[in-house]
Structure 1
Amino acid sequence: MNLARRIAARINGTRVPDSFGGSLEASEHVLASAGSGPRCVLVTSHGLWLPEAEGDRRIGWHRIAKASWEDPRLEVIEARAEEVVEGIEIVVDLAPQRFSLEPPGRVPQTVRQRVERSIAERQRREVDGGGVWFVQRREPGVDGILLQVRPDPGADRAQVRSLTAGIARRLRS
């Protein structure tokens, strides 16, 4: 991150770790940070920056399926689009990632607020073998709503696709 953005973030009261190696967008604002060295996390208006072997990577708020806090550990489950049916994403959860944050500062509460704020609406429907969540999400920095479909493990995939295609047709009309 460039020097001017580091200074602005410090003036606003947010500590930007020196080890942060990501590149923030011009419209992206730092909200909180925690951890130290190569294991720091950074919370911004656009998402959660997590440390990885290849460098820091941002997960947009609309891609976080679940985030939980059990002192001193933040657990994040990222959702990945497995399939797109008529413009609607069918997502699956990736393996949980865990980060020890000492001290955690405002990171846990800010992550929770941002994930919840990214959800515009959610509804559940039942299909053979389980249920399906239809979640309308706000994507940071983008106008409009993204519809994600999250089937339970074991939910009948053909029914999930059919239900998703029906919803897509109704949305277009």
Structure 2
Amino acid sequence: MSGFWGRLFGRDPVPAAVADRLGSEEAVVAVATVAGGGTLVVTSWGVWPPAGERIGWHEIAKATWDRTALVVTPTTAEEIAPGTELLSDAVPQRFRLPEPGKVPQAVRDRVDQSIRSRNRRELPGGGAWVLQRRIPGRDGLIVQVRPDTGTDPVAVRRLAEGIADRLPGGDAG
């Protein structure tokens, strides 16, 4: 979108580096300029940081907005069995957005929409969230287990393996 059309529709242009890598079904939802340089692009499938790869909605542990910056906490996933993942939080990414536009609400809505169900399980040392999530661009759901910091890792793994064993075709171990 050219500068004129971007201003007319209230959206910054999508960087060519992102536009060239969008999936065929992936649509741009919101765009904002990041202080210090670069553009944050929100699509139907995830968030494209100014530098780096898309973070899919199912790969975001949490996203917060403090009126000046969007903080996205991505996850790393370990496959326990097909359709079941054990998550751990990666380093949060902070994007200061002087003119955020629709970006904060778009991110919140899409992270929330990716979660089909969530249940809390108390475990030694803390607990874990068991999530059923939709992966953008794919059919079906994935089950993710995201433990609290300090939760007994053996108990978390046992929980994830037990869930995987109960799923159709499940065999976690």
CA contact 1:14–1:30 (8 Å) conserved in 2 = no
Report the residue type matching 1:48 in the other structure.
V
Give 1:28's match in structure 2, choosing from 7, 26, 29.
26
The residue aligned with 2:79 is: 84
When residues 26 and 14 of structure 1 are mapped into structure 2, their CA distance, relative to the original with a 3 A threshold, is farther
Matches of 1:67 and 1:120 in 2, distance apart? 17
Matches of 1:20 and 1:42 in 2, distance apart? 11
Shift of 1:79: 0.9
Shift of 1:80: 0.8
Shift of 1:155: 1.3
Give 2:157's match in structure 1, choosing from 154, 161, 169.
161
Give 1:95's match in structure 2, choosing from 81, 86, 91.
91
Alignment of 1:114-153 (within 5 A): 114-153=110-149
The residue aligned with 2:45 is: 46
Relative to the length of structure 2, the TM-score reads: 0.85
| Other structure's SS at 2:25 match | coil
Matches of 1:38 and 1:138 in 2, distance apart? 32
Relative to the length of structure 1, the TM-score reads: 0.85
Percent of residue pairs bearing the same amino acid type: 47
Displaced runs of 4 or more, over 4 A: none
- Provide the aligned length of Structure 1 versus Structure 2: 163
Cα deviations across residues 90-145 of structure 1 (Å, max 9, x unaligned)?
11111111111121100011110000000000111111111011011110000000
Shift of 1:38: 3.7
When residues 13 and 29 of structure 1 are mapped into structure 2, their CA distance, relative to the original with a 3 A threshold, is farther
Shift of 1:20: 4.6
The residue aligned with 2:59 is: 63
Report the residue type matching 1:85 in the other structure.
I
